[in-house]
Structure 1
Amino acid sequence: MSDEAAPGHVRVRLDVSYDGSEFSGWAKQASGRRTVQGEIEDALRTVTRSGATVYELTVAGRTDAGVHARGQVAHVDLPAELWAEHREKLLKRLAGRLPKDVRVWTVAEAPAGFNARFSALWRRYAYRVTDAPGGVDPLLRGHVLWHDRPLDVDAMNEAARLLLGEHDFAAYCKKREGATTIRTLQGLSLERGSDGVVTATVRADAFCHNMVRSLIGALLFVGDGHRGADWPAKVLAAGVRDSAVHVVRPHGLTLEEVGYPADELLAARNKEARNRRTLPGGAGVCC
């Protein structure tokens, strides 16, 4: 996964949003199930008249099945002559070819050293939940979780503050062979809106599999009084999956934004993101 396009190619950044309800996640699957990556690559191949050639996308965050995105970022390396031919009309043509539950908002030549995944400084997600006794507004049912007990947002924020910083989040992640579970949780806070919907905003340098949904599951247990505000931090410190931590349903989760450094810092960020990550006294694993 290079930080530069191959000779004769141009690296193109795409800003993407999608409703994840009918997708089996971002990444293409051998099973042939419908995915966001598959839809965009198919559309790109069609509108550029590329025949059987597939131009593969690299993405900032591989969202799971049912998870939405408002601010997803991807890149693709296109032959320079193809980019020159199609660049002016590519965005509009993609809009005409893509299904209505996925949109590409910008298509632009990326700066030198840009990599949608490794250049990112942070990803920001939002998880939305309501404890309204009557349930979820039908117009929001695909994007808001219903929790059937009253939630104490202050207690949830107290618990959230104890999770901030760099930790091994193994207790809140689905383990993947060879991948680290060390992450820096830069922000985690909850706020109840005027409509009663509680929005949890979660920001980190990166997330491991199921991390956000597991954290929210733990905080809901605090919010409804099942556990004390110190319990999620105790689970984190234990370093192992706790059966009491539920992975909440995906439809309440949206990738809102991905942050990148200034163009001149992209190369340094790429190198840093690929380094082996360790905690004091621990072994390191890349990325």
Structure 2
Amino acid sequence: MTQHDLDEPVPDPGGGLVRVRLDVQYDGTALSGWAKQPGRRTVQAELEAALATVLRVPVALTVAGRTDAGVHATGQVASLDLPRAVWEQHREKLVRRLRGVLAADIAVPSVTEAHPDFDARFGALARHYVYRLTDAPGGPSPLRRADTVAWPRSLDAGAMTAAAATLLGRHDFAAYCRRREGATTIRTLLALDVARDGDLVTIAASADAFCHSMVRSLVGALLAVGEGRRPAAWPAELLSRTERADDVTVAPAAGLTLVRVDYPPADMLAARAEVTRARRS
């Protein structure tokens, strides 16, 4: 069975500890992704340091999805275990105190006590991302420049929609993933929707989970179709490959935002976590 990495421990309910859920938002522009890396500024490192400063105890976070460098989040979820006394002392003012410690590009709008079986990572039913880009000659609005990519060529959203529909369902997405040792590339793509609103093109992707760089690779394949460089059937044809497809360009990180993570009802959390761990064995 796959274990959490050392910087993302398996939560252990009981022992007088309280499971705590954090809803997290960040502008990923100046951040090297979620996971801690030596000498780099990351969401996990910043947030764990801020929590330790406020709570005066060491903390270790479990996260719903490890976003890459430059990727944003409005709906990230993390969890941790705290001694009951520490939680009761800080629960009412923790959000405000974190705001005073964190840099402006990371925010924690909500901190709540969770069910003991809640696991931000393995308990999730689905992750939802949105990719934003514009093919307007003048680029994105200055107010959206951080999360909207300027695309230099016109896009056929209809062709992209047709291509996206062929990718739905459970597949081995090896062609679209940067493989990690011991990790499976089999995923269930629940939705991949392309929409145009004037010069703005959005691609909404939902799956039970995404492997490394999968969303941006899917977007890159759809962009090749939208530009007319590839036929609508091409993205699905790549699913027959067992290694990453070098001819798929990974779309820029700046356009991607994790917008929501879904969880089951409290009485199904433990069962969901068990199923997820088994599937990734």
Q: Give the TM-score normalised by the residue count of structure 1.
A: 0.92
What is aligned with 2:108? 104
What is aligned with 1:233? 236
Letter matched to residue 224 of structure 1: E
2:16 is aligned, of 8, 12, 15, to: 8
- 1:73-88 equivalent positions in 2, closer than 5 A: 73-88=77-92
- CA RMSD for the aligned pairs? 1.2
What is aligned with 2:118? 114
Q: CA deviation at 1:134?
A: 2.4
Give per-residue Cα distances to partners, 1:224-279, cap 9 Å, x unaligned: 10010000001122333222200111000000000001111101100100013xxx
1:224 is aligned, of 217, 224, 227, to: 227
Q: Give the TM-score normalised by the residue count of structure 2.
A: 0.94
**Partners of 2:27 and 2:197 in 1: CA distance:** 22
- SS at structure 1 position matched to 2:237: helix
- 1:42 matched to 2:49? The reply is yes
Report if the CA contact (8 A) 2:11-2:80 is conserved. no
- 1:26 matched to 2:29? The reply is no
**Partners of 2:68 and 2:89 in 1: CA distance:** 34
**Partners of 1:33 and 1:198 in 2: CA distance:** 32
What is aligned with 2:5? none
Q: CA deviation at 1:4?
A: 4.0
Give per-residue Cα distances to partners, 1:182-227, cap 9 Å, x unaligned: 0000000111124x21010000000000000000000000001001
What is aligned with 2:25? 17
- 1:191-202 equivalent positions in 2, closer than 5 A: 191-194=195-198, 196-202=199-205
Q: Segments of 4+ in structure 1 off by > 6 A?
A: none
Q: CA deviation at 1:3?
A: 5.0
- Identity within the alignment, %: 57
- 1:51-70 equivalent positions in 2, closer than 5 A: 54-70=58-74
What is aligned with 1:244? 247
The unaligned stretches of length 5 or more in structure 1 are 277-284
2:272 is aligned, of 251, 269, 274, to: 269
What is aligned with 1:280? none
Letter matched to residue 166 of structure 2: L
- SS at structure 1 position matched to 2:13: coil
What is aligned with 1:282? none
- 1:120-139 equivalent positions in 2, closer than 5 A: 120-139=124-143
Letter matched to residue 39 of structure 1: E
**Partners of 1:190 and 1:38 in 2: CA distance:** 34
Report if the CA contact (8 A) 1:187-1:202 is conserved. yes
**Partners of 2:269 and 2:148 in 1: CA distance:** 35
Q: CA deviation at 1:123?
A: 0.2
Report if the CA contact (8 A) 2:28-2:72 is conserved. yes
Report if the CA contact (8 A) 2:179-2:185 is conserved. yes
**Partners of 1:24 and 1:242 in 2: CA distance:** 24
- SS at structure 2 position matched to 1:120: coil
